[in-house]
Structure 1
Amino acid sequence: MPTEPITIKTPRGHELAGSLELPTGLVRGAALFAHCFTCTKQSRAAVEVTRALARQGIATLRFDFTGLGGSGGDFGRAGFASDVEDLVASANHLCERFGGQILLVGHSLGGAAVLAAADMIGRDRVAAIATIGAPADVPHVLGNIKGDLAAIERDGEGEVTIGGREFQLSREFLHKTREIDLPEEVARLKLPILIAHSPTDQIVGIENAGQLFDAALHPKSFVSLAGADHLLTKPEDAHFIADMIAAWGARYIPMKSEWPMPEQGVVVCTGHGKFGTEVHTPSHRFIADEPRSYGGDDTGPTPYDLLNAALGTCTAMTMKMYAERKGLPFEGARVAVTHERNHAEDCDHCEGEDSQVQALHRVITLLGDDLTAEQRNKLIEIADKCPVHRTLEGRLHVHTKVGGE
């Protein structure tokens, strides 16, 4: 997906480093992702979920909390309250850029942070909230810190180890992390909530999900991540919850009514990235792109893929329609189509320097052992009469005019 670097200024004066995952096509809305305790925006969950949402047309920002990754500030003095402030600043950035309500998504302590931040962001600006492995008891995260917390309380600061990394923590960090009553915060929210949790989570037990779910008001949903670990280190677990949140979130960020869905033909809209476009038919929408080898993001079929598909699908449909009308023992077909741009070089009958003869190569495999040789030959003959085939080999003209005049 196209990724845009983002820098967000916080009220404390330092900058947060973010990555905005953009849809290849049009943007239907925006979402904000909060990473887990001492992780960064590059965690597997952060990358997978934000890109899955972008595939649904939802521009999604992941960023590093204060003092982590590429963000400024002092992590050791920040605490949970600072995470909430970071989320509010980031949410304001998204709302100002894209307008409308946004989706909040958080992993582990990031999940607790989005729940606590929702009121401060403003309920009129938040469409829904999803959490992954979030603790109901925020001070619970202090149990994952290796160090003398009592000495930090006494002396004001001290060195600790979190997830194998060394940090200098302050007394302020401990106090700010202990102050929040998350179930009480959740009980006040009147927003759709999805709570995802693994029953085998060894870091934040499944009972946390139960407490949050009980505190939440409807509409609320629960997704079990059976077999997953807390950090979603297995790709299949990260992919699963990413797609689940993307599908669920799209319910609360609906398609924009002003998007061009034509009465006939197609409308193609330029999108993000170098080549990304979004194609709208009267009842469908999909993405077209170029492969990475051509500088694209490879998020959809190429224009020539679509050209090949037009001939291949029309061929298959035409043969099936004929076979059903004639009662033939036809069990289907596979139609492979490739495009040859340099056909003119090998075409003996092409004359003149301006000749640009190209070729589509089609291989048709008929399925059905009971078809006779005569029936097979007739089906191949019919394939050459499909409407797209006739269009491509006919006298086709493209008429262009400037719209909006």
Structure 2
Amino acid sequence: MPTERITFPGHDGNQLAARLDLPDGPVLATALFAHCFTCSKDIPAARRIAARLSAMGIAVLRFDFTGLGHSEGEFANTTFTSNVQDLIAAAQYLASRRMAPALLIGHSLGGAAVLRARAGIPSVKGVVTLGAPADPGHVSHHFDAALPTIETEGSAEVCLAGRPFRIGRDFVNDISEAALKPAIAELHAALLVLHAPRDNTVSIDNAAEIFLAAKHPKSFVTLDDADHLITRAADAEYAADVIAAWATRYVDLTPPAPPPGTPEGIVRVSEADPDGFRQDVQSGPDHHAVADEPLSYGGTNQGMSPYGFVSAGLGACTSMTIRMYARRKKWPLESVSVDVSHNKVHAQDADSAASGKIDRFTRRIHLKGPLTADQQARLLEIADKCPVHRTLEASSQVETILERAKEPA
């Protein structure tokens, strides 16, 4: 997916570093992502979720808050309120590009920030939290030992996730006074709460508080045994899939209509896992699937193989063609199913004049209903008139077998 590296002015004029992950096709909606406390826009969970959403047509802007990552400014001078203001500034930047965000997604303290920021971003229709605290003051447990020093000296250097950060008194005071429940109650947007029951950093009780404080529409989905930072790729991708599916209820993800006379459409296949073989398959606005390879071939087995999709196309086309003919003839066909297998065979098995190997697709057709022998034979002939069969037959061999229904014992 294409990614733009950009900067925009934050709440105090400092330039904030950002990445805008864009779909390969039209932008159907835009999401704004807020990272976790002292993290950055490039944390694996943010990257993976942005990649998955952009594959589904949703552009994602993720940026470093003031004083973090590649953004300008001093972290010691920031507060929870300034983070909220940075989010509003990011939304204003997107609006200036006619990409006003319809979704806000926040991870950990970023989740608390998007709940507060929603009131200042009128374009938002849905808000998503991942492992968010119900009280921003929750983060102070990371530096409990330094609180006396911060109170007396105005700031203190603390070590968080192995890195030094200077925490100021204004930050501590701000998070202790930042009540979220009024903002949640007046969210005026759909809410999706994602949280892991085994989150040892922000307990699941926080998700319950957020959910109960919100008005409908609201949804809660568990992330099972994911950790707080959602470090496993499978957990981040699952979260992205849930977000994308949920968003379709509240955000218009319909692509622009194709020009008149355009053929059926384009199937776009986009790489979803550069280290493996998983692919996102998008056909039009409504149909998404995943292609992959088995574990034995280095894939993650999260979707059908390419040949599996070819076999599925042949089976579906065969079943539809048979049904269409039987319906027109008003024959008593109750149901039809097609089993398709694929393998390579020596070409001379099919044609004595050919050499090398060709593809062989074997169809086993199951017809249920009080059909006569002549009707069954005719439907078997009709199966060979399926358009996908004809396409494959030009360079492949398609073998068709009628499976007889077993007589009841």
Q: TM-score, normalised by structure 1?
A: 0.72
CA-CA distance at 1:367 after TM superposition: 7.2
Equivalent residue number for residue 40 of structure 2 = 40
Q: Are the counterparts in 1 of residues 67 and 75 from structure 2 also a CA contact under 8 Å? A: yes
**AA of the residue aligned to 1:66:** T
Q: Are the counterparts in 1 of residues 315 and 363 from structure 2 also a CA contact under 8 Å? A: no
Q: Quick one: distance in 1 between partners of 2:309 and 2:247? A: 29
Output one character per residue of 1:281-300: Cα deviation in whole Å (capped at 9) or x when no partner. Answer: xx9666999xxxxxxxxxx9
**AA of the residue aligned to 2:340:** R
Alignment of 1:82 with 2:82, yes or no, is yes
Alignment of 1:199 with 2:230, yes or no, is no
Q: Are the counterparts in 1 of residues 111 and 130 from structure 2 also a CA contact under 8 Å? A: yes
Equivalent residue number for residue 114 of structure 1 = 114
**AA of the residue aligned to 1:151:** T
Equivalent residue number for residue 298 of structure 2 = none
Q: Are the counterparts in 1 of residues 185 and 214 from structure 2 also a CA contact under 8 Å? A: yes
- 1:332–1:269 distance in 2 versus 1, CA, 3 Å: closer
Equivalent residue number for residue 162 of structure 1 = 160
How many aligned positions are there?
368
Alignment of 1:137 with 2:135, yes or no, is yes
Output one character per residue of 1:332-365: Cα deviation in whole Å (capped at 9) or x when no partner. Answer: 3425499xxxxxxxxx99xxxxxxxxx9844435
- 1:142–1:204 distance in 2 versus 1, CA, 3 Å: same
Output one character per residue of 1:148-190: Cα deviation in whole Å (capped at 9) or x when no partner. Answer: 2221221222211112221122223323333311112222222
Alignment of 1:59 with 2:53, yes or no, is no
Q: Are the counterparts in 1 of residues 318 and 386 from structure 2 also a CA contact under 8 Å? A: yes
Equivalent residue number for residue 94 of structure 2 = 94
Q: Quick one: distance in 2 between partners of 1:267 and 1:331? A: 27
Between stretches 72-81 and 103-112, larger displacement belongs to 72-81
Of residues 221, 224, 244 in structure 1, which corresponds to 2:222?
224
Equivalent residue number for residue 49 of structure 1 = 49
Output one character per residue of 1:35-59: Cα deviation in whole Å (capped at 9) or x when no partner. Answer: 1111112223212322232233211
CA-CA distance at 1:390 after TM superposition: 5.0
Q: Quick one: distance in 2 between partners of 1:19 and 1:311? A: 42
Q: What secondary structure does 2:164 align onto?
A: strand
Q: Are the counterparts in 2 of residues 95 and 102 from structure 1 also a CA contact under 8 Å? A: no
CA-CA distance at 1:366 after TM superposition: 4.2
Q: What secondary structure does 2:112 align onto?
A: helix
Of residues 150, 153, 162 in structure 1, which corresponds to 2:151?
153
Q: Are the counterparts in 1 of residues 23 and 54 from structure 2 also a CA contact under 8 Å? A: yes
Q: Quick one: distance in 2 between partners of 1:7 and 1:311? A: 49
Output one character per residue of 1:86-144: Cα deviation in whole Å (capped at 9) or x when no partner. Answer: 21111112223244551001011000000111112x33x11111111111111110111
**AA of the residue aligned to 1:128:** G
Of residues 219, 231, 234 in structure 2, which corresponds to 1:233?
231
Q: What secondary structure does 1:148 align onto?
A: helix
Between stretches 197-206 and 83-92, larger displacement belongs to 197-206
Q: What secondary structure does 2:37 align onto?
A: coil
Q: Quick one: distance in 2 between partners of 1:269 and 1:382? A: 27
**AA of the residue aligned to 1:222:** F
CA-CA distance at 1:238 after TM superposition: 2.4
Alignment of 1:178 with 2:176, yes or no, is yes
Q: Are the counterparts in 2 of residues 115 and 129 from structure 1 also a CA contact under 8 Å? A: yes
Q: Quick one: distance in 2 between partners of 1:385 and 1:320? A: 13
Structure 1 residue runs of 5 or longer lacking an equivalent are 290-299, 339-347, 350-358, 369-376, 395-405
Q: Are the counterparts in 2 of residues 24 and 277 from structure 1 also a CA contact under 8 Å? A: no
Q: Quick one: distance in 2 between partners of 1:208 and 1:48? A: 24
Equivalent residue number for residue 259 of structure 1 = 257
Equivalent residue number for residue 334 of structure 1 = 340
Q: What secondary structure does 1:233 align onto?
A: coil
Equivalent residue number for residue 212 of structure 1 = 210
Alignment of 1:187 with 2:185, yes or no, is yes
Bigger RCO (CA 8 Å, 6+ sep): 1
CA-CA distance at 1:256 after TM superposition: 3.6
